[in-house]
Amino acid sequence: MDKVKSGLAFHVHHDILFEFCHDYDERIRFIKQDKPIEERELRLRLFQLIPEDKLPRGTKAYDKAREAYYKAEEACDKAREDCNKAGKAHYKAREAYDKAGEAHYKAGASALEKLHQELCPNCPFDNKTIFTRRDKAGKWY
């Protein structure tokens, strides 16, 4: 899994000089896909992560906080990897559940159709929509 590029950046948004960017690549994708075409070239040219060695150093408290932040970010990246693994397992389980549901539905389809006729007599459903009939006044029935 690629490491998320994040940090202080210039022109993440058009109206703020610098701010924290949580995912550089995601922001690039967003600009290319969702921003007006006529804005994209300029946004892409100006948007940039500020190199770590160019950042002004602050007070000792600020530097300690930054170190703590980066350690927490590493922990988040690890958790994200674990979450992705769990997500893949969840996706596979969902696929199996959906397949079992389809088989269950097919096996019970005729019984369900009979039950539908019993519980919903004179139903307008045509296997596509219930909106198949109107009365003389134009009301669906």
Interstrand relation of 48-49 and 18-21 (parallel, antiparallel or unpaired): unpaired
Residues 80-138 pLDDT 10s: 888 888 888 888 887 887 777 677 656 666 666 777 787 888 888 988 888 888 899 98
Arithmetic mean of pLDDT, 50-56: 80
pTM greater than 0.75 (yes/no): no
Nearest to 31 by CA among 42, 21, 22, 20: 42
List residues bridging with 49 in a β-sheet. 9
Question: Tell me, what's the pLDDT at 3?
Answer: 77
Question: Tell me, what's the pLDDT at 34?
Answer: 97
Does the structure show a pLDDT above 90 at 71?
no
Arithmetic mean of pLDDT, 69-80: 80
Question: Tell me, what's the pLDDT at 105?
Answer: 56
List residues bridging with 18 in a β-sheet. 10
Categorize the per-residue pLDDT at 62 as very low, low, confident or very high, splitting at 50, 70 and 90. low
Question: Tell me, what's the pLDDT at 40?
Answer: 93
Residues 8-51 pLDDT 10s: 889 999 988 888 898 999 999 999 999 999 999 999 999 999 88
Does the structure show a pLDDT above 70 at 1?
no
The CA distance from 95 to 111, in Å, is: 25
Question: Tell me, what's the pLDDT at 128?
Answer: 87
